[in-house]
Amino acid sequence: MSKVLIPGSYDPITLGHLDIITRCSKLFDEVIVLISKNSAKDYILSSEKRALLAKDAVKDLSNVRVDIYDGYLVDYVKTQGIDVTVKGLRNETDFSYEQNMASINLQLSQDKHGYDFETLYMPCKKEFSNISSSLVRTCLHKQECVDALVPNRKLLLECLQNN
């Protein structure tokens, strides 16, 4: 059975994220969307609210599940029996960042667990190349409409009110 991990902060999940997840669900038997915690980031939503939004977004994809993890990615994948992660790329900046992270994760997986944890890159569709969680947060702050950016604006606004 092929299993893939799509990690991210998903603060909040966007239509671009959902596109990558949907495309991976057609290529792999099981897709795990991992809500990760990064101590260097300030989140507008708790991990639980981010997971709730992600679960709602993927509810029609039977081979996709959502999980939350606070720790090294290589430790999570080792316990779950995952050998590959997919990262969506919008541009050169994303590639540069993700290439560095992939290199670090590969070295960590070799050093800590004695195996090669690989990262695959999936370019986003052109219509999603300008969508980011940062853009959504900016639009929300300015009270602009985010319908064209997120899977479920209503649930997002509810999560923000109850966060």
The per-residue pLDDT for range 140-149, each reduced to its tens digit, is 999 999 999 9
- Whether 42 shows a pLDDT value over 90: the answer reads no
Rounded distance between C-alpha atoms, residue 18 and residue 40, angstroms: 24
Residue 39 has pLDDT above 80, yes or no: no
pLDDT tens digits, one per residue of 20-38 = 999 999 999 999 999 998 7
- pLDDT at 83 (0 to 100): 76
Instruction: Note the pLDDT tens digit of each residue in 73-106.
Output: 999 999 998 979 999 999 999 999 999 999 999 9
Q: Which two tokens stand for residue 145?
A: 């409409």
Query: Residue 76: what pLDDT?
Result: 95
Which residues make Cβ contacts (< 8 Å) with residue 123, sequence separation at least 6?
Answer: 88, 89
Cα separation, 52 vs 44, whole angstroms: 14
Q: How far is CA 42 from CA 6, 27, 48, in A?
A: 21, 33, 15
Higher pLDDT, 16 or 115: 16
* Spatial separation of the C-alpha atoms in residues 81 and 83, rounded to whole Å: 7
Partners of 45 in the β-ladder: none
Nearest to 45 by CA among 160, 161, 144: 160
Q: Is residue 152 scored above 90 in pLDDT?
A: yes
Kindly state the helix (H) or strand (E) to which residue 84 belongs, with its residue range: strand 84-89
Q: How is domain 3-161 classified at the architecture level of CATH? A: 3-Layer(aba) Sandwich (3.40)
Residues 47-77: tens digit of each pLDDT = 999 999 999 999 999 999 999 999 999 999 9
Other CB atoms within 10 A of residue 73 CB: 21
Angle between helices 73-80 and 92-113 (to 10 degrees): 60
In terms of pTM, does the model score above 0.85?
yes
Q: What is the pLDDT of residues 109-138, one digit of tens each?
A: 999 999 898 999 999 999 999 999 999 999
